[in-house]
Amino acid sequence: MGAEYKPGDRVYLDASDIQTTRPSKKLSHRYLGPYTIERQVGPLAYKLRLPRSMSRLHPVFNAVKLRLAPPDPIPGRRARPPPPPTLIDDEEWFDVEDILDSRFFRRKLQYKVKWKGYGYEDASWEPVENVAHARDLVREFHRRHPDAPKQVRGMLLVDPAALRAARAPVHRGAAP
């Protein structure tokens, strides 16, 4: 039987049945939250106060899917929760604070992104399409790191040496 919760309790929500925007189920968080319990709606059902970004999700969950959040280890501290994502055309968008690195992964350009309101441990590798709205930050990153992999005129370059090699004249042996 599930635990008894009361209105105002903070709980984590089991994310095993919730579709997220993470690239794969394996990389998804096991629990989401913490969220506040608004009220008990049945013997083992509780209504949670969910953020606006989760408005498509029904807010009532079975007690089996909930886990009591531990109390704050530093009493009196006001933890600032990260800002909620912006909804644009029913898609979640997070604000980019900084571009930390770039790389090629499976022949596609990616940027390591530090998200506004989140720590460096939450930085993630994102395809170039996901940072199109942060072009100024991408330009600033490449100004600081001119040798970092980047996209040039529609052609992806692995490194500056590849660019120099592409511009160098090709020497061919004498024609037979």
Domains defined for the chain, CATH in brackets: 10-68 (no CATH), 94-161 (2.40.50.40)
**pLDDT tens readout for residues 98-144:** 999 999 999 899 999 998 888 888 889 999 988 888 899 999 999 99
* pLDDT score at 6: 92
Q: How confident is the model at residue 86 (pLDDT cuts 50, 70, 90)?
A: confident
* pLDDT score at 27: 76
pLDDT at 171 over 70: no
Asked if 114 and 120 count as a contact pair (C-beta separation under 8 A), the reply is yes
Average pLDDT over residues 60-79: 83
For 94-113, give one letter per residue: b (16+ CB within 10 A) or e: bebeebeebeeeeeebbbbb
**pLDDT tens readout for residues 27-45:** 778 888 899 999 999 999 9
Q: How far is CA 20 from CA 116, 145, 162, in A?
A: 19, 33, 38
* pLDDT score at 121: 81
| Amino acid identity at 64 | V
- pTM, rounded to two decimals: 0.46
pLDDT at 157 over 60: no
pLDDT greater at residue 42 or residue 56: 42
pLDDT averaged over every residue in the chain: 81
